[in-house]
Structure 1
Amino acid sequence: MVAGTREKILEVGKREFLAKGFKDASLRHIVKEAGFTQGAFYGYYPDKAALFDALVSPAADGLIEQFKAAQKAHFDLVDEGRADESGSLSTAYLRRFVGYLYDNFDAFKLIICCSGGTRYEHFVHDLVELELEQTARFYEEVAAQGGPENRISPELQHMITSAYFTAVFETVAHDMPRERALSYIEELAAFFTCGWEGLLGARE
């Protein structure tokens, strides 16, 4: 096959998905625009979903790994008796996450705005669920070491966490310039940190 076929298909596929979303993107148009036959396409990807996956999975998997590393760092704080530093650690990792989003901007634009009908359709929701699961474990460990218990209802915790993650990904959804996004998430972190502290203090 012609050298560069895969790269050409990825390039054209990305444009098509960004313009129309996964559901409305035309595989026939992608192949035609790339200047190859349908058979050449199937030599690389079995279907349109596999092409979409190839465009976004490296970035998505990388973010999940960073997210898990952040969670481990929070549990390390508990082990070291420094759980009260969790808020500042969260903000530090948020800066890393947003930098990573912008280093892989097109992939996350596809995930956030164009992934309906793919396994990435609920990517943000899945992150929220992972965060809630790890947060519950975090507070259990804090309480086991004599710290305060988390008395916030699961329903409220879910709503606040979902709002937080949605707000972070709005930077990508609205094509916010990187520098503006970095400034925005500092304000966002301050807002949610104050909110959590006020809410937890009110429940003690």
Structure 2
Amino acid sequence: MGEDEKSTLNLIHIAAKAEFLEKGFQSASLRNIVKNAGVTTGAFYGYYGSKEELFKALVQDVYEHIMSRYKESLDKFASLPIESQPEQMGKISRKSMEQQLFYCYEHLDELHLILQCSKGTRYAFMIDELVELEVDATHKYYDVLNKLGSPVPNNDRRLEHILVTGMMNAFFEMIIHDMPLDSAKVYLQELNDFYTAGWIKIMGQ
């Protein structure tokens, strides 16, 4: 790709980000994006076939990073010897979420697009996808505790889903409300302490 093409693509991305952040995906106007980028419609379609493809170009890498790192963290925990997992439960989660936090603050615009402006796209369900991963991992940990002779009470799956959803939403609220990073780091520590203690109680440990 030549410099002129890179420049044109950059102008499209800048205009698209501003339009999506202001109006959301569904209400954003492709005509406005093209106009504000100072390019022709033909030039736009030389890069993207639709508004959906353009939105994907802006957020896909960030979405994939968040999802893959979360899965890696869960897999890392599950691969530990089962005798080590109770001790490591809160520690690995804390480190993973700290890493996610720093990454999110390096990509705030993209996170705002995903969290607040993505209705009408697959990215609107990112938090739901993270919740499902966490709930599945929680049930696998129940099996570990059972094998260790510390059986877990029969918890209502609806309650589990509510608690995990609350945890995920609490994390991303820091991004949505542009909390200063120093404050967010403290908030995250308190959040981890709160939910770790709560889960230990619910699991009867």
What TM-score do you get using the length of structure 1 for normalisation? 0.92
Is 2:140 the partner of 1:137? yes
- Correspondent of 1:194 among 187, 194, 197: 197
1:76-124 Cα deviation digits (max 9, x unpaired): 22x2520112112211111111111112111111000100111111111
Cα offset for 1:151? Answer: 3.0
Structure 1 segment 1-204 matched on structure 2, within 5 A:
2-3=4-5, 4-77=7-80, 79=81, 81-84=83-86, 85-149=88-152, 151-201=154-204
Identity between Structure 1 and Structure 2 (%): 37
| Alpha carbons 1:139, 1:150 under 8 Å: kept | no
Cα offset for 1:56? Answer: 0.4
Q: Distance in 2 between matches of 1:147 and 1:42?
A: 59
In structure 2, relative to structure 1, the CA distance for the partners of 1:73 and 1:141 (3 Å cut) is: same
Matched positions, count: 201
What TM-score do you get using the length of structure 2 for normalisation? 0.92
Gaps of 5+ in 2: none
- Superposed CA RMSD in Å reads 1.6
Cα offset for 1:147? Answer: 4.2
| Alpha carbons 2:152, 2:203 under 8 Å: kept | no
Cα offset for 1:60? Answer: 0.5
Gaps of 5+ in 1: none
